[in-house]
Amino acid sequence: MLLANRGINTLFDDMWNDPFFTRSYERSSSQVMRTDIHEKDGNYVVEMELPGYAKEDIKADLKDGYLTITAHKNETKEEKDAKGNCIHKERYTGTCNRSFYVGEELTQEDIKAAFTDGVLKLQFPKEVKKQEEQPKLITIE
């Protein structure tokens, strides 16, 4: 009986040794979203590693001077035996995000973004001149 259960014990031992279960919760976002920020030609270039994510899984938004990158993933893995019976099934749902203060003057139009080979690259000007707001005419009826 001991030998029969060994396969199942090994399965769970391997699962609990996965980095998803062993890393600390407080640092999980920064572990997944490794980020480098460079300055080049008067611009900031942010390169964020997001391996395993598709472009559709990633969202970037700008609000109140904060640039926030969010990556969300739903994944299901299922293994079946020769008869089609499920012998192993795992589900993962997770979201991670990082925020950077970029200043109140930066607009969405100032930010250029591309996602290639698991790396999100964002580029935006280091300094943005505050544009004077043009008066908006009010229609008088």
Q: What is the pLDDT of residues 105-128, one digit of tens each?
A: 899 999 999 999 999 999 999 987
Q: Which of 87, 73, 78 is nearest to 20 (CA)?
A: 73
Domain boundaries, given as residue ranges, for the chain: 34-125
Q: Is the pLDDT of residue 2 over 50?
A: no
Higher pLDDT, 130 or 98: 98
- What residues form DSSP beta bridges with 140? none
CA distance 27 to 65: 24
For residue range 50-68, list pLDDT tens digits in order.
988 899 999 999 999 999 9
CA distance 101 to 17: 35
- pLDDT for position 12: 53
CATH classification code of 34-125: 2.60.40.790
- pLDDT for position 135: 76
CA distance 24 to 122: 28
Calculate the average pLDDT of the chain.
79
Q: Is the pLDDT of residue 13 over 60?
A: no
- pLDDT for position 117: 92
Q: Which of 1-10, 58-67, 83-92, 113-122 has the lowest mean pLDDT?
A: 1-10
Residue 139: CB partners within 8 Å, gap ≥ 6? none
Amino acid at position 71, single letter: A
Residue 34: CB partners within 8 Å, gap ≥ 6? 48, 49
CA distance 48 to 25: 20
The whole-number average pLDDT for the span 66-73 is: 92
Q: Is the pLDDT of residue 98 over 70?
A: yes
Question: Burial of 73 by CB count in 10 Å (0-12 exposed, 13-18 middle, 19+ buried)?
Answer: middle
